[in-house]
């Protein structure tokens, strides 16, 4: 059987497989169909062989920012990676509907995206286009890179290396806009773009940690010699950010916490102190009919402040816990916020 005929039959099988995936017959979630190169492919059989090798590499990598590969589909002689669907939204849509992202979320996106780029670089399957529209944020908080597009010559072992500097610049621009709400070079013509750096992030978005500002400044520098141009430099640049673990947002470092607006810190501390004072006063006001006091109803504790609390925590336990948290200084600011929010949500 001629090679082209075998490819056509394989394409029919993969197309049927992809159709069943799209209808949800072979798993949950709608898959994503991504072209990985343009249609000007002459050696389709040789390319398919190299493609399978690359996909095997990606399957073995199982990086959290790389979607799982389900199959490969041929569309008009164009092999297309079928990726596992993930509920969520693009970074661009998320910023448009919910406003700028928090600095901690930006740090997580940078770290996860750079980790995926490193794996993809080793496999020579890099995004040809990277923007806020191709960075996918799942409902679980993961960051996925969706545009796995690359020309076929880059898949050959002797092909030129991927253009990492342009990719890193695009990543920095996408995160900069997601944090600040505006492009880094907005209203600038080509000449100023090549001569001047983007406005400092701290001058646009409030409460941005200096570590994040420095990372984005190095990713977006208009001077190639000052810009992060490889993965080693990018990893070193991210050294000031807190490590990312799991899929949730990371806590900011102590220096970043000190950069938070003073009014937010004061408001949170005043709210916490006022809450404890109100609870202490309400402890003296019983419900009519000899029921449990308002305070013990509120915290789910017992009538005795120091006694056991079968339904929750007593006032003394809450006060002691808050005092322990505040011993941590500025580093414990987010923990204190979470504690007070947990108490008020009861």
CATH architecture assigned to 91-124+161-257:
Orthogonal Bundle (1.10)
Q: What is the mean pLDDT of residues 213-224?
A: 77
List the single range of 151-155, 165-169, 265-269, 272-276 with lowest mean pLDDT.
151-155
Q: Which of 209, 206, 120 has its CA nearest to residue 164?
A: 120
Q: Which residues contact 150 (CB under 8 A, 6 or more apart)?
A: 36, 37, 124, 125, 126, 127, 128, 162
Q: What is the structure's pLDDT at 149?
A: 44
Tokens (6 digits) for 72: 């490969």
Tokens (6 digits) for 253: 């470092």
Pick the more confident residue, 199 or 297: 199
In the chain, CATH 1.10.510.10 covers 91-124+161-257
Tokens (6 digits) for 51: 């493609």
Q: What is the mean pLDDT of residues 233-242?
A: 71
Residue 166: pLDDT band (50, 70, 90) is confident
CA atoms of 62 and 74, how far apart (whole Å): 24
- Please determine, for residue 108, whether its predicted confidence score (pLDDT) is greater than 80: yes
pLDDT tens-digit profile of 8-53?
554 454 445 444 444 444 444 443 333 333 333 344 444 444 444 4
What's the pTM value of the predicted model, to 2 decimals? 0.45
Q: What is the DSSP string of 130-141?
A: -STTTEEEETTS
* Mean of per-residue pLDDT scores for the chain: 59
Q: Which of 88, 58, 93 has its CA nearest to residue 72?
A: 58
Cβ neighbour number for residue 91 with a 10 Å cutoff: 25
- Please determine, for residue 183, whether its predicted confidence score (pLDDT) is greater than 50: yes
* DSSP H or E run through 83: strand 78-83
Q: What is the structure's pLDDT at 160?
A: 47
Q: What is the structure's pLDDT at 23?
A: 45
* DSSP H or E run through 331: none
- Please determine, for residue 60, whether its predicted confidence score (pLDDT) is greater than 50: no
Tokens (6 digits) for 283: 């402890």
Residue 219: pLDDT band (50, 70, 90) is confident
């Amino acid at each position: 059987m001629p090679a082209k005929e075998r490819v056509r039959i394989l394409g029919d099988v993969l197309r049927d497989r992809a159709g069943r995936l799209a209808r949800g017959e072979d798993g949950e979630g709608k898959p994503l169909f991504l072209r990985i190169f343009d249609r000007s492919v002459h050696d389709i059989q040789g390319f398919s062989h190299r493609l399978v090798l690359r996909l095997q590499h990606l399957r073995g990598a199982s990086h959290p920012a790389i979607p799982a590969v389900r199959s490969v589909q041929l569309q008009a002689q164009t092999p297309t990676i079928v990726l596992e669907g993930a509920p969520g939204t693009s970074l661009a849509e998320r910023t448009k509907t919910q406003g700028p992202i928090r600095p901690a979320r930006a740090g997580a996106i940078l770290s996860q995206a750079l980790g995926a780029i490193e794996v993809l670089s080793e496999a020579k399957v890099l995004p040809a286009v990277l923007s806020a529209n191709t960075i996918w944020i799942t409902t679980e908080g993961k960051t996925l890179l969706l545009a796995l597009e690359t020309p076929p010559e880059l898949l050959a072992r002797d092909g030129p290396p991927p253009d990492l500097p342009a990719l890193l610049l695009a990543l920095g621009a996408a995160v900069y806009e997601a944090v600040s709400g505006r492009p880094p070079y907005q209203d600038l013509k080509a000449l100023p773009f090549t001569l001047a750096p983007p406005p400092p992030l701290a001058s646009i978005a409030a409460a941005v940690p200096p570590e994040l500002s420095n990372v984005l400044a190095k990713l977006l520098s208009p001077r190639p010699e000052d810009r992060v141009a490889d993965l080693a430099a990018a990893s070193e640049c991210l050294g000031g950010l807190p490590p990312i673990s799991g899929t949730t947002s990371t806590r900011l470092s102590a220096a970043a916490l000190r950069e938070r607006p003073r009014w937010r810190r004061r408001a949170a501390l005043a709210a916490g102190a006022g809450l404890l004072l109100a609870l202490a006063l309400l402890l003296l006001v019983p419900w009519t009919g000899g029921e449990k006091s308002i305070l013990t109803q509120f915290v789910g504790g017992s009538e005795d402040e120091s006694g056991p609390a079968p339904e929750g925590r007593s006032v003394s336990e809450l006060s002691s816990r808050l005092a322990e948290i505040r011993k941590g200084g500025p580093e414990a600011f987010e923990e204190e916020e979470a504690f007070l929010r947990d108490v008020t949500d009861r």
